[in-house]
Each structure stands twice: as C-alpha cells, then as structure tokens.
Amino acid sequence: MLFVGTPLLIIPAFFAAEARWRVEELSLFVASFGAIGHHLPGMLRAYGDRALFQRFRWRFCLAPVFLAATCLLFALRDLNGIVLVVYFWGVWHGLMQTYGFLRIYDAKSGPSSPLTARLDHAMCVTWFATAVLVSPSRMTNILSVFYKSGGPLLEPSAIEALRTTAVSLTGVVTVAFLLHSVWMWHRGRPVSSVKLLLMATSIGFFWYTNVFVSNLLAGIALFEVFHDVQYLSIVWIYNVNRVQKDRGVGAFTRFLFRRSGALVGVYVGLVAAYGSINLVSTVMATGLLNRILTGLLAASALLHFYYDGFIWKVRERTTRQSLGLTGGTPDQAVAVRPGWLIHGAKWSLFVLPVAMLGFAEVQGRAPELDRARAIAQAAPASAQAQEHFGVLLASAGRRDEAVARLREAVRLDPDNAEAQSNLGVALGHIGRLAEAVTHYREAIRIDPGDALTQTNLGNALSKMGEFPEAIRHFEAALRVSPNSSDWAHSTKRSAISTRPCGSARTNLRLSPIWPLRETCGTNAARCLPTGSG
C-alpha cells in the first residue's frame, strides 16, 4: 500500500490540511521534513555500511567537498544556475526511483528480459519528461530560472516543437511497451499486475501534480510526500533485512534497523531532525549565513541524488538479497570499459551545464521585460507567466497591454488572488474603478488576509465616494497588519471625509502608531460635539 496506493491517502489528507494551513506553510513543512529529511537514510547507508564505504571511499570523500564548494560558490555569488541543475537532477532521481520499484516487482515475478528493463526505463523517462514539458507552471519556472541564469531567449516555436516531439515519442514508447507486454503474456510470462499498477499510479500521480494542480507549491509538495514515503519505507525494509543477513554493517545501522515500533519512531525522528535544518534557513534574514546554509542544503540534495545513483542498484546481488530477491550480478563485476571513464562521462553531465550557466549569468542576462515576454509566449497556458508579464508591462507604463495580460491570467486561474488584485490595480490606473473594485473584492474573497488588497479596495471605494465601506476595508487591513502606516493613513483620510465618529475612534484603537494616532485623535475630536467626554 505504501508503494502503490499512497496517492489515495495523500490527496485527501493534503486537501484537509489546506483547510487549516496555507499552501506555503504546507510546502515548507514537506520541503523540510520530507524533501530534506529523507536525504539522511542514504547518508547513513553510505557512511554506515563498511563494505560499501570501502568500495566507494573516494566518491564518498571527494563528492561532498566538490558539491559543497560548487553550491556555496553559486549561493555566495547569488547565481541561479545550480537551482536549475538541482531541479532536473531531482526529476531524474524521482523517475529512477519509480524505475527501481518496477525492477523489484519484475524480479519478484521471475526472470525478465533486458528488453523489458529497457522499456520500463523508457516509459519512466518519456512520461516524466513530457509531464514537465506540458506543465504550464513547471515550464514557467524552468524558463524563468534559465533566463535568470543568462540563458538565451528561446523561440516559442522551438519549445512547442520540443513538446510535440516529447508527446510523440511517449506515444511510440507506450505502444511498444503494451505490445511487448501482450507478447510476454502470450508466451506464458505475464507482466506483474502490481508492477503495472505501480507504474500507473506513479506516472499518473506525477502527471496530476505537474499538469493538473495549478498551484506550483502544492503540486511539488504532493509528489514529494509520495516520493518520500516510498523511499523511507523501502530503505527501512532494506536495512532491516541487511542487518539480519550481513554482520559487516556498522554498529549504528545494526542498532537502528531492527523490527521495533519504537525504533521506527527513532528513524522518523532522525529524518525530521535532519530536515529541520531547512527551517533554520527560512527564519534567517537574507545574509551571509542564510546563503551558506542554502548552499549546503543544495549540496545535500545533490549528494542524495548522486549517492542513490549507485548505492541501491537492484541488479547487484547484495542489494537483491536485502530485498528478498534471488540472482543478480556480483557487486564488482568485470567492466567492459574502465570505471573511471564511465563515471567521468556521467560527471560531465553535471559539470558542463553548471559551468556554462554560471559563466553565462556572470556575463549578463536579457532585460526582465524581454524575459517575461519570452516566458509568456512559450507558456501561454500559465497564469503565473501572464500575470508576471502584465505586472512588468504596467510598471513600464504600458497599461492597456498590462490589463490584457492580467485579464488572461485571471481567465486561466480565477482563484489566483494575486492576479485578481493586480488586475484591479491595473484597471484603477486607467480609471476603470468599478471594474477594479470587482476584482479587488474577488481577491479578498479568495484571500481575506491580504492587507494590501484590502487597502487598495478601500482607496478605490474612497475615490468613488463610498467612504463607509472604504473605512471597513482599511480597518480590515489594520487588523491584518496593524503596524503599517499606509493603511492607517488611508483610514484617517476616509474618516475625515465621511465623519462617522465611531470609525475614527476605531482607528485609534487599532493603530499603535503614535504620530498617526495623535493625528487621528485630533480628527476624531473634530467629529465629537462640543463638551463631550
């Protein structure tokens, strides 16, 4: 159930949590205790398994130094290229985990052919890659980081051609996979039903979170929970079996991975403790320490992806034994080509893009408005891309164009409070106050806690002469953000205009800003009849 049916548990649980917490809060929780926390078990395996460490000691000693130095360099120089590399490696890591589970279930049902393994791998690569390419939110963020990193502006037609190619290739691979499965069934070697179900749920859930969940943070968090539950579960099972069968494991591994409910709690607690490091970086103000910690967390992610690429190989005999499987190749089989050559070629897939992106960003990047236009054209179904382009157009004084883009953003995502609010601002700038008020109200319906939108609505209503309602929104803004002088000042102005003494007195109670309090007190006194206390 933890490997196949997890989405059936995650989706209702996440939607229930959304009723109490903001998506940003849930995303931070998952990023800390899931995404970062689940790096720990791989580290424990790498440095707690004596035989494994002896076999790959140079990798385990040199890789942390190299990756930490690279990530710190990018973090301290405020370069963005490493973010893009982490993302793409993370997608590869996720699809390879799915592929690993497919190979496990294939092995449980009996011997399989190399063609079966290749088709499984091709299914994972094509379906995961295509989900990213057709996702409006993912492509918006990928292109944004790419252009921030100094990448050249791409033609929308080139990106569309890439999407079309990916969709076509996915279709071809899927047909080949289905034909091969039917052929195997006719030969009396049917494909494992659990494997097919796992493939369907994993690929289907990745598509759901990438393509059909419009909120980027929510989509990332949902699939991250699925990935982490699978990973933590299989690592626990693997290590418990290894402790029972191999006396060469380290003392800490032997202590922790035993069949005990209490030790499961310790295991989860250690994962959470490691993940809590991410919370430290979020409470820090931007500065040197924040950048250092951010760089180290990026290095932790890259180490996790790197180590998992070779410490859990299902084809190796020791790995299969700890998973309850038979057969497999020797751990150190004779290689056709030198190991250093193959490994070096794989490292080039990391080093070359990182170096090129870093160098390109140092050289400079295209103007922000041009980057936003390129993204909006390449991702026409992305509300985020249209909104950002619209905001920049408004800042450039091109207000009619801005309104058109922001209308498109609202059409694509009517529940985007920020887009509704920004459209209200743009409409207000061209004198369409009634329309602006409509969109401000919609934004507040979606997110009543946005003090700035409350104030903007109050200002628009004030210009329309609706002073009592304007004051109510200014007061709502003060309740959300009582220390802001902007909304306190707006409340004061409307209180003077409409002269309801109760509202002026309310502003006195809500605003802790002494200079404004004194001014509002004077205005309130003017509203009071002579001689009243």
102-120 pLDDT, tens per residue?
999 888 877 778 899 999 9
Instruction: With a cut of 60, say whether residue 502 has pLDDT above it.
Output: no
More confidently predicted of 329 and 31: 31
Confidence band of 2 (pLDDT split at 50, 70, 90): low
Burial, 114: exposed, middle or buried (Cβ in 10 Å; 0-12, 13-18, 19+)?
exposed
pLDDT at position 331 is: 59
Burial, 353: exposed, middle or buried (Cβ in 10 Å; 0-12, 13-18, 19+)?
middle
**Residue 171 in domain:** yes
Choosing from 330, 349, 364, the residue where a domain stops is 330
pLDDT digits (tens, 9 = 90+) for 269-296: 999 999 999 988 777 766 788 899 999 9
pLDDT at position 305 is: 97
Token reading at 390: 């619209």
Q: Are 407 and 420 in contact (CB under 8 A)?
A: no
pLDDT digits (tens, 9 = 90+) for 217-261: 999 999 999 999 999 999 999 999 888 887 777 788 889 999 889
Q: How many domains does the chain contain in total? A: 3
Within this chain, do residues 396 and 474 fall inside the same structural domain, yes or no? Answer: no
Confidence band of 507 (pLDDT split at 50, 70, 90): very low
> In degrees rounded to 5, what are phi and psi of residue 286?
-60, 125
Cβ neighbours for 114, distance < 8 A, ≥ 6 positions apart: none
pLDDT at position 10 is: 93
Q: How far is CA 115 from CA 121, 263, 417, 454, in A?
A: 10, 41, 50, 61
Confidence band of 521 (pLDDT split at 50, 70, 90): very low
**Residue 528 in domain:** yes
Q: How far apart are CA 496 and CA 480, in angstroms?
A: 22
Token reading at 212: 């059909």
One-letter amino acid at 382 equals: S
Within this chain, do residues 492 and 476 fall inside the same structural domain, yes or no? Answer: yes
> In degrees rounded to 5, what are phi and psi of residue 332?
-120, 65
216-247 exposure pattern, b = at least 16 Cβ within 10 A, e = fewer: bbbbbbbbbbbbbbbbbebbbbbbbebbeebe
Within this chain, do residues 129 and 250 fall inside the same structural domain, yes or no? Answer: yes
3-19 exposure pattern, b = at least 16 Cβ within 10 A, e = fewer: bbebbeebbeebeeeee
Cβ neighbours for 521, distance < 8 A, ≥ 6 positions apart: 508
pLDDT at position 522 is: 30
Average pLDDT over residues 465-487: 78
**Residue 189 in domain:** yes
Average pLDDT over residues 495-517: 35
**Residue 368 in domain:** no
Confidence band of 503 (pLDDT split at 50, 70, 90): very low
Within this chain, do residues 294 and 219 fall inside the same structural domain, yes or no? Answer: yes
Within this chain, do residues 210 and 254 fall inside the same structural domain, yes or no? Answer: yes
Average pLDDT over residues 141-149: 96
Within this chain, do residues 16 and 143 fall inside the same structural domain, yes or no? Answer: yes
Q: How far apart are CA 516 and CA 103, in angstroms?
A: 69
Smallest CA-to-CA distance from 304 within 94, 157, 533 is with 94
pLDDT digits (tens, 9 = 90+) for 381-433: 999 999 999 999 999 999 999 999 999 999 999 999 999 999 999 999 999 99
What angle do the packed helices 501-510 and 467-480 form, to 10 degrees? 10
Within this chain, do residues 409 and 466 fall inside the same structural domain, yes or no? Answer: no
pLDDT at position 328 is: 67
∠ CA 142-144-149, nearest 5°, is 95
CA atoms within 13 A on the CB side of 334: 0
Instruction: With a cut of 80, say whether residue 454 has pLDDT above it.
Output: yes
Burial, 444: exposed, middle or buried (Cβ in 10 Å; 0-12, 13-18, 19+)?
buried
Percent of the chain exceeding pLDDT 90 equals: 62
Confidence band of 1 (pLDDT split at 50, 70, 90): low
Cβ neighbours for 531, distance < 8 A, ≥ 6 positions apart: none
Length of the chain: 533
pLDDT at position 337 is: 60
Query: DSSP letters along 435-501, please?
Result: HHHHHHHHHHHH-TT-HHHHHHHHHHHHHTT-HHHHHHHHHHHHHH-TT-HHHHHHHHHHHHHH--H
Within this chain, do residues 145 and 222 fall inside the same structural domain, yes or no? Answer: yes
Q: Are 469 and 482 in contact (CB under 8 A)?
A: no
* pTM confidence score: 0.85
Taking the CB of residue 158, how many other CB atoms lie within 10 A of it?
10
393-430 exposure pattern, b = at least 16 Cβ within 10 A, e = fewer: bbeeeebeebbebbbbbbebbeebbbbbbbbbbbbbee
Within this chain, do residues 87 and 190 fall inside the same structural domain, yes or no? Answer: yes
Q: Are 168 and 384 in contact (CB under 8 A)?
A: no
Q: How far apart are CA 479 and CA 512, in angstroms?
A: 11
Whichever domain contains 528, its CATH number is: 1.25.40.10
Within this chain, do residues 101 and 22 fall inside the same structural domain, yes or no? Answer: yes
Smallest CA-to-CA distance from 423 within 392, 458, 391 is with 391
pLDDT at position 484 is: 58
For the chain, the average pLDDT equals 86
pLDDT digits (tens, 9 = 90+) for 164-173: 999 999 999 9
**Residue 456 in domain:** yes
Percent of the chain exceeding pLDDT 70 equals: 87
pLDDT at position 482 is: 73
pLDDT at position 86 is: 97
Smallest CA-to-CA distance from 212 within 135, 278, 154 is with 135
Q: Are 392 and 366 in contact (CB under 8 A)?
A: no
Q: Are 219 and 25 in contact (CB under 8 A)?
A: no
Token reading at 396: 């450039």
pLDDT at position 266 is: 96
Choosing from 394, 425, 443, the residue where a domain stops is 443
Choosing from 393, 419, 443, the residue where a domain stops is 443
Q: How far apart are CA 257 and CA 41, in angstroms?
A: 11
Q: How far apart are CA 292 and CA 414, in angstroms?
A: 39
**What domain range includes position 391?**
382-443
More confidently predicted of 460 and 507: 460
**Residue 474 in domain:** yes
Average pLDDT over residues 447-475: 89
Within this chain, do residues 48 and 191 fall inside the same structural domain, yes or no? Answer: yes
More confidently predicted of 502 and 355: 355
**Residue 351 in domain:** no
More confidently predicted of 491 and 410: 410
Confidence band of 516 (pLDDT split at 50, 70, 90): very low
Confidence band of 303 (pLDDT split at 50, 70, 90): very high
**Residue 352 in domain:** no
Within this chain, do residues 428 and 503 fall inside the same structural domain, yes or no? Answer: no
